[in-house]
Amino acid sequence: MSESEKSLPDGFDWRAFTPEDSPKTPMDVMADPRHQALATASVTQGGPAHDFSSPVYDFSDGRKTATGQTFNLLEAAREKPVALIFGSYT
């Protein structure tokens, strides 16, 4: 058993969800500095946001219906302040 495997919870079997031909284990991924950087927010309150675009959907009838429109964060922020809320409402 490797050092990184010793820190896993008892009974946790990472092999159960890792493809046999995977070049990396979950421990390799978690130890990668690029992955660790994702765990720390690099944006600050009032700082510039990273641009992204996303399709706009209509859920008014309870179904996901494409509107054909695209939301672009930087375009919207040029017009007025934008608040992004991420979460699960299930």
Residue 57 pLDDT exceeds 90? yes
pLDDT category, 21, cuts 50, 70, 90? very high
Cβ-proximal residues to 69 (8 Å cutoff; 6+ apart), any chain: 55, 56
Chain-centre distance for alpha carbon 57: 20
57/65 Cα distance (integer angstroms): 5
Structure confidence at residue 25 (pLDDT): 86
Residue 8 pLDDT exceeds 80? no
Which of 13-17, 42-46, 57-61, 78-82 is predicted with the least confidence, judged by mean pLDDT? 42-46
pLDDT category, 15, cuts 50, 70, 90? confident
Please report, as a single letter, which amino acid is at residue 18. Answer: T
Burial class of residue 61 (count of CB atoms within 10 Å of its CB; 0-12, 13-18, 19+): exposed
